[in-house]
Every structure is written in C-alpha cells, then in structure tokens.
Amino acid sequence: MNRTPHVAVVGATGAVGVEMIETLEKRNFPVGKLTLLASARSVGKKLKFKGVEHTVTELTKDSFKGIDIALFSAGGSISKEFGPIAAAAGCVVVDNSSAFRMDPDVPLVVPEINPGDVKLHKGIIANPNCTTIITLMALYPLHQAFGVKRVIASSYQAVSGTGAKAVEELDQQVRQFSAGQPITKEVYPHQIAFNVIPQVDSFLPTGYTKEEMKMENEGRKIMHHPGLRASVTCVRVSVFRAHSVAVSAEFEKPVTVEAARAVLAKAPGLDVVDDPANKAYPMPLDLSGRYNCAVGRLRLDCALDNGLCFWVSGDQLLKGAALNAVQIAEELLK
C-alpha cells in the first residue's frame, strides 16, 4: 500500500461522505490525492479538503484506475455494482453499506475490536451497522472480561441515520408544529417530530426488522462469537444526531458494577459517563460530533443471571460510519 495513498470517497456529497472527508482531514490521514465521486446529479459540486476545493466527478466503471483506497457510502446497490469493479482495479474498498457485511470473504471490522481481520481482505472490507458498532464499543470489552451469552437491547436512533432528507423532515415538522400548520411527511411513514417510531428498516417474516437482526448477525462476526444471542427492538426517535442503546447483557462469569466499570474505563474509543448523583449519563446531544462513544447507567440486571444493564451513546455518522471507515483505512497503512 502506498504510504500517501490516492483516496476516493464514493457518495462524497451525502451525510456520511461529507463526514468522511472531514475525518480524513482532522485525523491527518496521509492523503496523496483525493478524488470525490458521486452520482450525475452531484457532479460539479465543490467540497473543501485542507482548504482546497475539490470538484465532485461522476462515478463510472473507469473511476478507480490508480486509486489505492475507496471509501464507499452511496448505498447498497451502488456498492454491489461498483465495489467489485474498484477491487478488480487494484483498489481496497471500505464499504459503509450492508452489501458485503455478511459475505464470508469480506472482513467486517471495528478497529478497536478486530483490527487483525483487516489483513484478510480480498479487496473489500465492510463497515458494520452504526447501532451495532456503538453497542459493541461497550459490549466487547465486557465480553472479553466476562463472556457475553445474550443481549436484550432497545435502540434510540437519530434521524440523521436515515440521511440528510430525514434531518430536513424533522426540522420542518418541528416548525410546522410550532406554527400550527399541517404536518407533512415524506421520509418516514409517520410524523417523527415529538414521536418515536418502532420501525427501523423493513420487516422480516419473524416480525423483527432487518436492522434489529444486524446486532446478532454482525456482532457474532465482529467479536468472533458465533454463539451470541441478541433480541433487539430498534426505534427511530425525534433526535437529530447520535444513536443511543439501552442494553441488558447476560455473562458467563459473575459481574459486578465495579469490575465492569474498571473494564470500560480502559476500553479504547469509549468514555465512562456514569455519575447518577450528579445526573451525568451519556446523551446524544453531548455525543454529537465526538469520536468516542460513551457508556453510563451501569447497574446489575434484576432479571438476568450475571446480568449488567448499561446505556451507550455515540455519533452514528462518526464512530458509526465515517470515523470507523477512516480507522479501517489507517489499519490498511500499518
């Protein structure tokens, strides 16, 4: 791998694409050259990187000649079509969609958890689901110490997880509500302002949604823990940015709050914010724009044996997407 790689961002004008460009800059990733790619409708837009304007060009089958690393965040269908083309051109793809996550030939990586899996790539590396990443940032260190058996969790997912249009929709609905105007909705099937919608992604025959199954399926792969069992309810909430998850986890070994806190305090990429007496706990408003996730509300679970409850929040556009992708690219250079 070139020490100053030619990097492409595919889906550069999207919510995650913009964060990827900013994250490359903030982390001083040694970009030799930057190419911004998007669909025809975004061609000609200009985005700044290190003070220099870069013009967005159209994603085509010939876009990847000479590119070393391509960060993809343009949706699953684009990834499925262009990911293999990019890999065949000698480029390493870090893909933010769900297209390749469960492909046995594609590593699924959270660098704080399974950085070694990066080496197993055959041209494509998958970025996990944002809610899964944020949960595992706290769950994995606990798993290493106590051996997790099963997880029951509920997510509180921000609208920016759906994209820029969803952010606009919440903003517009709040204004409409305040002005006493009729509420218009396009992105979500129901009003999201001042509401919670217990559906993220499409339903499966089991009654779970696709999103809800990602924590079990992806968690098993990332943690190399095929026996993990997870029952999850994913909920879209009236929050602009940063996802939160309430987790009850059952472990093989006895767990105490003190022992858990000591483990979490040492965990990379995670802050412990857990001082109930002073009303201190992680909140999405505080985690927006931050690289680290945060965990709090640690307590023994009343209903599970060797069980621990905790609450974890993180910026799903950063650790849940753009930051994790850039960290994977950093691993590629090591």
Indicate left, alpha or beta for 278 from its phi (over 0: left) and psi (-120 to 50: alpha).
alpha
173 has a pLDDT exceeding 90: yes
Active-site residue, from 130, 234, 293, 309: 130
Average pLDDT over residues 119-126: 98
pLDDT at 299: 98
pLDDT at 84: 98
pTM, entire model: 0.97
Contact 64, 86 (CB under 8 A): yes
Contact 285, 156 (CB under 8 A): no
Active-site residue, from 6, 54, 243, 309: 243
Catalytic residue at 309? no
pLDDT at 301: 98
CATH topology of domain 132-316: Dihydrodipicolinate Reductase; domain 2 (3.30.360)
Measured CA angle at 132 (ends 259, 134), to 5 deg: 55
Neighbours of 73 (CB within 10 A): 26
Mean pLDDT of the chain: 97
- pLDDT digit string (tens) for 267-296? 999 999 999 999 999 999 999 999 999 999
Report the alpha-carbon distance of residue 98 to residue 115 in Å, rounded: 19
Catalytic residue at 243? yes
pLDDT at 67: 98
User: Per this entry, what is the length of the chain?
Assistant: 334
| DSSP reduced 3-state for 124 | strand
- pLDDT digit string (tens) for 148-165? 999 999 999 999 999 989
312 has a pLDDT exceeding 90: yes
CATH topology of domain 6-128+321-333: Rossmann fold (3.40.50)
Average pLDDT over residues 295-320: 98
Average pLDDT over residues 179-196: 98
51: Cβ contacts below 8 Å, ≥ 6 apart: none
Domain locations in the chain as residue ranges: 6-128+321-333, 132-316
Distances (CA, A) of 127 to 14, 321, 328: 16, 7, 8
pLDDT at 1: 85
